[in-house]
Chain A
């Protein structure tokens, strides 16, 4: 499952659905809204482009790291402290591939998927600055 959605997901169900012959390990990344003195986090996506990019990253990760399954669910909308923002479930034959694949995916998402976060505080909001990218030059 690759999705950008408001709703949360059941990680256990994702793992159960992804189990297949040959699976020896799952690595799960769960990015959550941290209590940085904020009230809520608001997330926005360039939906069609972001979804396409998530699918491309999943396929690339499968090829490079020989993964058996990849699920990525990125949430949008308003999220409270402690809520899930991003769930990545990576299945592979062995742990090393699963860890490497999961790391590859989260770093690729951070680097180039058009999604933005705004921290909402009692006295206003602040867009979280991106860690990567530049308007000039190719990524």
Chain B
């Protein structure tokens, strides 16, 4: 199934953005992002702690809606999903 992952700000600089992946059926949100972030150790370390858990400040969205990062392991990815991963916002 095709899934688009978008990183922003510092995460984008380290990992790229608008990444379309062919994700395995049944994969959870944390697993999906871990697999992608693993390609760049600095990017991975920005997002995940030493236990492979999202750092507290990392914000997740699925199809434009916030997902609590503690719910990521239970959030199953579906075909066509757009996942966004970003640091705290700083507009204005």
A residues in contact (CB < 8 Å) with B: 31, 43-46, 48-50, 52, 74, 85-86, 106, 109-118, 127-139
- On chain B, the residues within 8 Å of A74 by CB distance are 91-92
Knowing A45-B91, A136-B68 touch, does A127 contact B9 (C-beta < 8 A)?
A: yes
Knowing A44-B8, A49-B84, A116-B8 touch, does A135 contact B91 (C-beta < 8 A)?
A: no
**What's the tally of chain B residues with a CB closer than 8 Å to chain A?**
26
Query: What's the Cα separation between A128 and B10 when bound, in Å?
Result: 10
- On chain A, the residues within 8 Å of B86 by CB distance are 46, 114, 116
Query: What's the Cα separation between A45 and B89 when bound, in Å?
Result: 9
Complex partner residue of A115 from B60, B69, B70, B91, CB under 8 angstroms: B91
Knowing A135-B54, A135-B56, A135-B60 touch, does A127 contact B91 (C-beta < 8 A)?
A: no
Closest residue of chain A to B64 (Cβ to Cβ) is A49
Label chain A's interface by main secondary structure: mixed
CB distance from B71 to the nearest CB of A (A): 9
Q: Which of B57, B59, B92 has the most CB of A within 10 A?
A: B92
